[in-house]
């Protein structure tokens, strides 16, 4: 089952990014991919929140999103947009939202990033995602041609309870579109994604932002596809582009027969405090 990953260096113009994505969606369909995957904040990377705010809208009024819905329907392909900033119902804060579009041009699933990136790095970088965004309230799974897919975004990958919930739901695929910083990417990206695949006995698909962006930030890249054994099937390095992987979905059964983590899973009570 062929998939396409789009590693991007998104800029501050959503319609420019959407045009780039629509071209990649067309190429993915022409090359036999059943699903296209984009990174976190695929439609807008802009740390100037006042400037970015003029592009914010709800789903129905977001022209860049509507153009991707049209592209999915035109080329008859599943599209995972990665994520984008969406005005939530209160319009006071934003949601960092993944949207999955079916080949009929219908939104099949939405997931709002649950864990917000509020950190102070030794490199001097400080991020406060919660100052502009509200966290999602629950995990989301969706049935796709690749199997049952669990949705997560970037910083979510550090919180194993989320992936335990997905494993208990029997997911076959976990998606983690990301815009990782360079220092955290170099330290943790590969090891965490491989761990999420191994512990869940599932494929992990993580399209990523890369390079130096128009707003001045730098992202790590290295979009990955990892199989249920923890083997890296694709690493896109540090340059933007479109890449393909043919997933062997039978690998799920082979791995789960050897190490039946789902059958062996126990309900974990609160720890006993000795002494």
Name which of 194, 143, 193, 153 is nearest 176 in CA terms.
153
DSSP structure string for 43-104: T---S-HHHHHTT---GGG-HHHHHHHHHHHHHT-EEE---EEEE-TTSSSEEEEEEEE-TT
Q: CA-CA distance, 125 to 146, in Å (whole number)?
A: 37
Q: Which residues are catalytic?
A: 40, 113, 154
Other beta carbons within 10 Å of 98: 26
Q: In a 10 Å sphere around its CB, with 0-12 CB exposed, 13-18 middle and 19+ buried, how is residue 226 labelled?
A: buried
Name which of 261, 267, 227 is nearest 247 in CA terms.
227
CA angle 149, 151, 154 (to 5 degrees): 140
Q: CA-CA distance, 184 to 193, in Å (whole number)?
A: 13
Round the CA-based radius of gyration of the chain to a whole number and report it: 18
């Amino acid at each position: 089952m062929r998939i396409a990953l789009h590693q991007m260096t998104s800029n501050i113009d959503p319609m420019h990014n959407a045009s780039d994505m629509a071209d990649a969606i067309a190429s993915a369909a022409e090359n036999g991919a059943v699903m296209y995957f984009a990174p976190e904040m695929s439609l807008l990377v802009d740390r100037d929140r006042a400037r970015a705010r003029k592009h914010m809208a709800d789903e129905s009024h977001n022209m860049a999103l509507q153009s991707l819905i049209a592209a999915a329907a035109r080329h008859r392909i599943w599209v995972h947009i990665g994520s984008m900033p969406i005005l939530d119902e209160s319009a006071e804060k934003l949601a960092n939202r993944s949207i999955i579009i079916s080949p009929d041009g219908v939104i099949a699933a939405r997931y709002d990033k649950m864990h917000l990136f509020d950190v102070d790095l030794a490199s001097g970088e400080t991020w406060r995602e919660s100052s502009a965004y509200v966290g999602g309230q629950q995990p989301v799974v969706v049935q796709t041609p690749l199997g049952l897919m669990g949705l997560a975004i970037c910083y979510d990958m550090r919180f194993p309870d989320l992936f335990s919930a997905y494993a208990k739901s029997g997911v076959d695929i976990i998606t983690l579109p990301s815009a990782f910083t360079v220092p955290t990417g170099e330290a943790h990206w590969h090891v965490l994604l491989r761990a999420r695949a191994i512990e869940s006995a599932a494929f992990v698909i993580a399209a990523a932002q890369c390079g130096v962006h128009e707003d001045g930030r730098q992202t790590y890249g290295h979009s990955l596809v990892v199989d249920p054994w923890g083997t890296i099937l694709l690493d896109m390095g540090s340059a933007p582009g479109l890449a393909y992987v043919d997933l062997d979905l039978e690998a799920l059964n082979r791995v789960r027969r050897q190490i039946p983590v789902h059958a062996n899973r126990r309900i974990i009570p609160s720890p006993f405090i000795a002494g």
